[in-house]
Each structure stands twice: as C-alpha cells, then as structure tokens.
Amino acid sequence: MAALTIDVCCQECLNEPTCNAYTFGFFTCYMKTARASGSFSLTLTSARVNKCSATQANVDYPGNDLTDVASSSVDDCCAICRNHEGCVVWSYANGRCWLKSAVGSSVVKTGVSSAVVIS
C-alpha cells in the first residue's frame, strides 16, 4: 500500500488486526503477518509492532481460558491472542500460550509471562 512516511506505515499496521510487522521503502508499506529473520538493506526499514501491553514476567492470570496452543515466544503468543476472537489477555510458559477471555486477578507464578491485548 502507498504510504508517505514510515509513521503512516506503522499506524496502518497497528490498525490492521493481522499485521505484526512491516517493511517501508520507496513510499510503499508492506504489511506482514509474521516477523522473518531480516537482512540488511540501505533502502528499506522493517519493524515489528507490539499490540500487547508490556510482558509481565512471573505473572499468571488464572482462569477464563479460551484455549491453549503451541507458541514459539511471547511475541508469537501476543499475535495469536490478537487474532483469536474473544482473547483479551494471554499467559505463556514452556512453549504453550493460554488465551483468555477476561482479565482476572493476577498471581505470581514463576516461569509464566503474561500481557493484555491493547485494542
């Protein structure tokens, strides 16, 4: 899509539910569903967008589970939650991502990371 600036490209990605990263160059914005391993370019700039709150280490939100799925990272878990209907918070541990329908009371749980989806 056409974009005059990288800021416009970033905002368009933030507004698109399936966009998790973008590449900008030559007044064009390329929205991506996933972040790939990058390569150096003098003419293109790429970035990942985080549409979840700051990750809370050693915090769990027990209950309100929609489902749990395999996940490679907290960033991946954030993207999965954002793209799953009804998911507003997630918890991640040991390669699993628990998608949750409501933000309940948080508890300390070693090894679990959690965040809230920013809408």
- The pair of structure tokens assigned to 22 is 């973008």
Under the banding of pLDDT at 50, 70 and 90, the label for residue 83 is confident
Residue whose pair of structure tokens reads 């989806």 in the numeric block: 117
Q: Could you report the per-residue pLDDT of 28-40, keeping only the tens digit for each?
A: 999 998 777 778 8
| Residue whose C-alpha is closest to residue 112's, from 58, 63, 52 | 58
**Domains assigned to the chain:** 6-48 (no CATH), 56-116 (3.50.4.10)
94-109 per-position pLDDT tens digit:
999 999 999 999 999 9
- pTM comes to 0.66
Give the single-character DSSP code of 33: S
In the predicted structure, residue 50 carries a pLDDT above the cut 80: no
- pLDDT for 119: 67
* Average pLDDT rounded to a whole number, residues 51-76: 94
Percent of the chain residues past pLDDT 90, beyond the cut: 66
Distance CA 27, CA 61 (A): 42
Q: Can you tell me the mean pLDDT for 64-69? A: 98
